[in-house]
Amino acid sequence: MLHLQSRLLQDCGASDGLHAHLWKPFGLGVVSAPLHCSNHSIQLLIARVRREACPELTLTSGQLGIDDHPHVPADLFESEHIRLGKRVLSEQDSAAAHQYSRQGCPTGLRAELWALILNSTNEPEDIMHYEQLKAGVIQHDLLVDNLIYKDVKLTASNDDYYFVFEDFLYQILLCFSRDTTVLEHFNYNSATPPKSYIQGKTEEDGYAVIYPPNGVIPFHGFSMYVAPLCFLYNEPSRLYGVFREMYVRYFFRLHSISSHPSGIVSLCLQFERLLQAHLPQLFYHLREIGAQPLSIAFKWMVRAFSGYLSTDQLLLLWDRVLGFDSLEIVAVLAAAVFAFRAENLMEVTSLASAEAVLADLSTLKVMPLIQIFIFATVI
C-alpha cells in the first residue's frame, strides 16, 4: 500500500543543501535503521508517497465508516456505493471487489465481497474437506488442542463482543490445527514448520513429522484472528474457508520474522517512522520517560487490532487490508491513535500512565483517524 521504506531509502538524499545541524538519525525507536534525514524532508516525502499510493482514502473520496453516518444523507454516497457493490457481486469480479473494498464494504454485502476477494468458495468439495477435518478432531487428540482451549478461554471468552462464539471458535481452530493445506504458506514464509519425532524413533531414522499438522503453534491471542469473522458467517465450513485464506495471505505475517512490507518487523519500523516524522516531540517525550511507543502499539499490530477496536470498526479496517492487499494500514492506524491521544500523552510521566491513556480503543472511529492522519496533518 504505502511502501514508505523503499521510497524513503531512494529519496532521502535529495536534500543535500540542508545544513548539517538539521540532520538527525532517523532511528531513535526500538527498531533502528541506518537512515539520516531531516524531519522536514521526511514529512514532505511521506506525505507525497501517501497521496500517490492511496488516493481512495483522500478526504474528497466517499468512505464507509464516515459517509454512512446517520447525519449524512444516504443519497450522497451510501446508496450508490451499495448499488455498485451489488453489481460487483453479480459480475463475480475479484479484482473489482479488491478495488471496491478500499472504500469499505456495506454490512449486508461484506461476507460475500470478502469471500470473492479471497477466492474462497463453499462448494461440496470444500464442505467435504471441512467435514474430514472435523472427523480428524474427533478421532485424535493433539497436545496443541489444550493451547487452543486455553487461548479461547483467556481471550475471546472474556471479550464482550466475542464470548458468544466460544463453541464456534473451538470448531474452527481445532480443524485448522489439522489442516495440512495450510503448510503451503511456508513456501513464501521465512519460517519453517516445527517438527517432532514418532515415539521411540530418532531423526536419523527419518521419522521426523511436522507437528502440529498445519505447522502453526497457536499463541496467546491467536483465536482473535477468527473471532471477528464469526459476525459475518454462520456456516462453519464457509467461516473456516475464509479464515484459512485470511491467515495464509495476511495473518501469518504478523507473527513471522521477515522483510516483507506487511511483515511485523516492517510494520513496527513503519509505525516508528510515521510517529517520528509527524510527532517528533511526542515520540521523544515518551522515549525519555521509558515508554517506547512501539512497546504499547506492538500488541495492537500483532492482532491487527482484533480485540481492541469495536467489531464494526475492526471490520472497516480489515476491509482496507483486503482492498489494498496489505497490512501496512495497520501501522498507519497505530500511529494515528497516538496522534489522536497526543495531548494527553504529552502529560504522562511513566509507561504505566501512557498505557492507561491508550488502554481503551473501543470508542475510536477508524476511518476518520486514518484520513486525518494521512491527509490532514499539518506539515
pTM of the model: 0.85
- Residue 118 near residue 249, CB atoms below 8 Å: yes
Give the pLDDT score at 43. Answer: 52
Confidence at residue 47, expressed as pLDDT on a 0 to 100 scale: 53
Can you give the pLDDT at residue 63? 81
4-53+257-375 fold? Cyclin A; domain 1 (1.10.472)
> What is the chain's pLDDT, residue by residue, as a tens digit (379 residues)?
444 444 433 433 333 332 322 233 445 666 664 433 344 444 544 555 455 556 777 776 778 878 656 666 656 778 889 999 999 999 999 999 999 999 999 999 999 999 999 999 999 999 999 999 999 999 999 999 999 999 999 999 999 899 999 999 999 999 999 999 999 999 988 888 988 877 766 666 567 788 999 999 999 999 999 999 999 999 999 999 999 999 999 999 999 998 898 999 999 999 999 999 889 999 999 999 999 999 999 999 999 999 999 999 999 999 999 999 999 999 999 999 999 999 999 999 999 999 999 999 999 999 999 988 887 654 4
Beta-bridge partners for 197: 208
Give, in order, the Cα–Cα distances in Å from 86 to each of 75, 89, 236, 344.
16, 5, 24, 43
Domain boundaries, the chain: 4-53+257-375, 124-249
CA nearest 118: which of 95, 86, 85? 95
Whole-number pLDDT of residue 28:
60
pLDDT, residue 58, reads: 72
* Cell numbers for 295: 512497546
| Cα 5 to Cα 259: distance, rounded to the nearest angstrom | 11
Q: Is the peptide bond before 34 cis (omega within 30 degrees of 0)?
A: no
* Distance between first and last Cα of the chain: 22
| Per-residue exposure over 350-360, b if at least 16 CB sit within 10 Å of its own CB, e if not | eeeebeebbee
Give the span between the Cα atoms of 221 and 154, in whole angstroms: 8
Look-up: residue for cell 499438522? 213
Tell me the H-state helices in the chain.
Answer: 4-11, 39-53, 78-91, 94-101, 110-117, 124-139, 143-154, 166-176, 236-249, 264-278, 280-288, 293-302, 311-324, 328-340, 342-345, 351-357, 366-375
Q: Which three cell numbers stand for residue 253?
A: 505475517
Q: Which residues contact 57 (CB under 8 A, 6 or more apart)?
A: 63, 102, 320, 370, 371, 374, 375
Type of residue at 203: E
Identity at 311, one-letter amino acid code? T
Other CB atoms within a 10 A radius of the CB of residue 220 amount to 12
Cα–Cα distance for residue pair 244/293, rounded to 1 Å: 31
Provide the pLDDT for residue 66. 80
Closest CA to 55 of 376, 375, 329: 375
> At 208, which helix (H) or strand (E)?
strand 208-210
Residue whose cell numbers read 459480475: 91
- Strands, DSSP E only, in 17-76? 23-25, 36-38
Distance CA 266, CA 271 (A): 8
